[in-house]
Amino acid sequence: MKELARLFPYLKKHRLRLLLGFAFVTISNICSTSVPKFVGSIVDGMQEANIDQSAVNTSIVTILLLTIGSGFFMFLTRKTIIVASRLIEYELRNDLLSALERQSLSFYHNHSTGSLMALTTNDIAAMREFLGPALMYSANTLTTFSFALAFMGALNPSITMMALLPLPFMAFLTYFIGKKVHIGFRDVQEQFSTLTAQAQEAFSGVRVIRAYRREAHETKEFEAQSSLYQQRNIRLAFLQSLTMPSMMALVGFSNLLVLGYGGMLVIQNKATIGDLSQFFIYLNQLIWPVAAIGWVTNLIQRAAASAKRVGDIMDLDSEITDSVQVRTQSFNDSGIVYTHVGMKYPGRTKAALEDISFSIPKGSSLGIVGATGSGKSTIAALLPRLFDPTDGEIVFDGVSIQHIPISQLRSTIGLVQQEAFLFSMSLADNIRFGKPDATIEEVIKAAELAGLADDIATFPNGYDTIVGERGITLSGGQKQRTAIARAIIRNPNMLIFDDAFSAVDTATEEHILRGLKLIMEDRTTMIIAHRVSTVALCDAIIVLDHGRITEQGTHEALLAAKGMYFTMYQRQQLEEEFKHYSTEISEIEQ
């Protein structure tokens, strides 16, 4: 159960509520276990015919008050312990989210979205059940047993010993079944992660699935995983179902022992019927606490399995962290220098970048072009430390980025990636994601600069239009322009466009670049593109090939050199002419 030790700090934080809960459950069980004494005295008094009606009425009122008191304090127990468990659940979710947020991109390459979703749903819920119901019923069982056994022992030690004979069997069953439940629940949670991951991918890729008519295949795959999940759940349910009937059978056996042995003592005048009545009431009071032992054991085993899964994530240190020499910067210069930078991704034999060196003075722009897989996006990912280079150094504003706080470094960079990710909220809120406190005027200005304002004007709800999950209601170009507006509104020191214009046509691209020209004047800008026309106006251009810089210079100088850049330019010019002629032919035919 060492996995549950990580929950101790949370329990310590809410110890006042928990201690109050334990006090309330103690008072509740003092009240409930006091009832049998009054019942026994009434039974004995009636048998001996030496009790009057007023004494019976007094006992009935006392029993009623004790029962009300027991119920009231049990209500307070739930209000304290269960509420504390909900508060801890809230804190656990926040801490898990913080742990996920600090991880590097390589972490998400190795963990599917579905498995992480399972952690935040099933696993956190299982831990909460331990922190709430399991603790509450454990306290209830402990106090009920303590008081009931104390009263039973004071009443008749020999009958008490007889009633406790099944307890060792209860302990053995609890341990044996609990161990099986732990393994079974772990298997269920792992399969649930697999099932969730598959469902999430199917929902996200529904358009691709339909386009390739793979509905039947995906359904079959989901059914197979769902069937395995069902089988593991049935096995777990079977193991859990053994617990309570076993406990109830042992409690019933205790009743038989008390009845047989106690009845013999009554016949021998060594005990009274009132005493025997009290024992039966005490045993009935112990039925739920005894049954709860198995149930609580199941909850503990499930929580331990979940705590390990969640703990493995929380204990995982990010590959990208602040160094001990980190210090806050003022960013007066904001120039960028890459010096002999190399990068090899984990698990890859070939380096993505080798010996990359260049500089971008403040307020200037650098264009990066090259074939697919040449390392363009890797250069962009290194600056905000989405990855760290394996060789060389990157300097920003005269300071190594390793010595700048990650949060401050990233807050000064506006990054627009090729795959624009939008959230299921309004267009205005998606743009504001780059600056949460931005006014609607700032949102409109950013949209205009990104060439998105005209499109938004055609939407019925304008800037309040909900874009749907991942921006599904928008075209590829509209999504990219929204992402560009999101970066612009931050007013960053550094702008990085990682093939951000790939989904827009040439005319729209020119319009966006004209709008960005004013913003780029006072900012350091890096533009990565597959089209030469995108980087033609940059102050400097580098050409990448297989992770190395093969050419660098201005647009005119690179064309004059008639190297790789010149070849790319000619090919793209031919492609544009071909598209132009194709469009004219289509219009004539129509």
CA dihedral angle for residue 169, residue 170, residue 172, residue 177, rounded to 10 degrees: 130
- Residue 497 forms beta bridges with which residues? 416, 527
Whether residues 485 and 574 share a domain: the answer is no
Whether residues 259 and 381 share a domain: the answer is no
**pLDDT at 74 (0 to 100):** 92
- Fill in the amino acid letter for 153: G
In this structure, is residue 321 part of a structural domain?
no
In this structure, is residue 253 part of a structural domain?
yes
Q: What does the pLDDT average to over 246-258?
A: 79
CA dist list (Å): 484 to 143, 464, 479, 493: 63, 18, 9, 15
**pLDDT at 83 (0 to 100):** 92
Q: What does the pLDDT average to over 294-316?
A: 81
Residue with the bigger pLDDT between 284 and 36: it is: 36
Whether residues 384 and 483 share a domain: the answer is no
SS3 102: coil
In this structure, is residue 319 part of a structural domain?
no
Strand 365-370, strand 524-528: pairing? parallel
Whether residues 104 and 208 share a domain: the answer is yes
Among 137-146, 314-323, 346-355, 367-376, whose mean pLDDT is lowest? Answer: 314-323
Whether residues 201 and 281 share a domain: the answer is yes
544 contacts 552 by C-beta, under 8 angstroms: no
**pLDDT at 82 (0 to 100):** 92
SS3 494: strand
CATH number of the domain where residue 96 is located: 1.20.1560.10
- Torsion region of 246: left, alpha or beta (phi above 0 gives left; psi -120 to 50 gives alpha): alpha
**pLDDT at 584 (0 to 100):** 54
Q: Give the domain-ending residue among 440, 467, 491.
A: 491
The tokens for 551 are 């050419």
Whether residues 468 and 504 share a domain: the answer is no
Whether residues 402 and 423 share a domain: the answer is no
446 contacts 489 by C-beta, under 8 angstroms: yes
Residue with the bigger pLDDT between 170 and 396: it is: 396
Whether residues 405 and 483 share a domain: the answer is no
CATH number of the domain where residue 425 is located: 3.40.50.300
User: How large is the angle between the packed helices 15-48 and 135-155, nearest 10 degrees?
Assistant: 30
Looking at residue 78, what DSSP letter applies? I
50 contacts 165 by C-beta, under 8 angstroms: no
Where does the pLDDT of residue 299 fall: very low under 50, low under 70, confident under 90, or very high at 90 and above?
confident
With 0-12 / 13-18 / 19 or more C-beta atoms within 10 angstroms meaning exposed / middle / buried, residue 265 is middle
In this structure, is residue 340 part of a structural domain?
yes
**Does the pLDDT value for residue 24 go beyond 90?**
yes
With vertex at residue 469, the alpha carbon angle to CA 485 and CA 481, rounded to the nearest 5 degrees, is 20
Which residue, 21, 552, 96, 68, is CA-closest to 316?
Answer: 96
506 contacts 573 by C-beta, under 8 angstroms: no
Its sign, for the CA torsion 442, 446, 451, 452, is negative
For 378, the domain range is 327-412+495-590
**Per-residue pLDDT tens for 424-468?**
888 888 888 878 888 888 888 888 887 788 888 888 888 888 887
In this structure, is residue 322 part of a structural domain?
no
Where does the pLDDT of residue 77 fall: very low under 50, low under 70, confident under 90, or very high at 90 and above?
very high
Residue with the bigger pLDDT between 491 and 29: it is: 29
In this structure, is residue 439 part of a structural domain?
yes
**pLDDT at 19 (0 to 100):** 93
In this structure, is residue 320 part of a structural domain?
no
**pLDDT at 22 (0 to 100):** 93
**pLDDT at 388 (0 to 100):** 86
What whole-number distance in Å separates Cα of residue 454 and Cα of residue 472? 19
SS3 184: helix
Q: Give the domain-ending residue among 289, 314, 339.
A: 314
The tokens for 236 are 């777990």
Q: What does the pLDDT average to over 513-528?
A: 77
**pLDDT at 340 (0 to 100):** 92
- CB count, 10 Å around CB of 269? 7
Q: What does the pLDDT average to over 3-31?
A: 90
Whether residues 378 and 521 share a domain: the answer is yes
To the nearest whole number, what is the mean pLDDT of the chain? 82
**pLDDT at 173 (0 to 100):** 75
Whether residues 460 and 549 share a domain: the answer is no
**pLDDT at 324 (0 to 100):** 67
**pLDDT at 376 (0 to 100):** 87
Q: Give the domain-ending residue among 260, 286, 314.
A: 314
What whole-number distance in Å separates Cα of residue 276 and Cα of residue 256? 12
Which residue, 390, 358, 399, is CA-closest to 538?
Answer: 358
**Does the pLDDT value for residue 76 go beyond 90?**
yes
Q: What does the pLDDT average to over 1-26?
A: 88
**Does the pLDDT value for residue 271 go beyond 70?**
yes
Q: What is the CA radius of gyration of the chain?
A: 36
- Fill in the amino acid letter for 104: S
In this structure, is residue 440 part of a structural domain?
yes
**pLDDT at 403 (0 to 100):** 85
Please give the share of the chain, as a percent, with pLDDT higher than 90: 9
Which residue, 530, 513, 506, is CA-closest to 579?
Answer: 506
User: How large is the angle between the packed helices 83-101 and 273-314, nearest 10 degrees?
Assistant: 20
Structural domains in the chain (count):
3
**pLDDT at 341 (0 to 100):** 92
What whole-number distance in Å separates Cα of residue 255 and Cα of residue 335? 84
Whether residues 187 and 39 share a domain: the answer is yes
Whether residues 105 and 176 share a domain: the answer is yes
**Does the pLDDT value for residue 134 go beyond 70?**
yes
Q: H-type helices in 346-468, by residue range? A: 376-382, 406-411, 427-432, 440-449, 453-457
Longest CA pairwise span in the chain (Å): 122
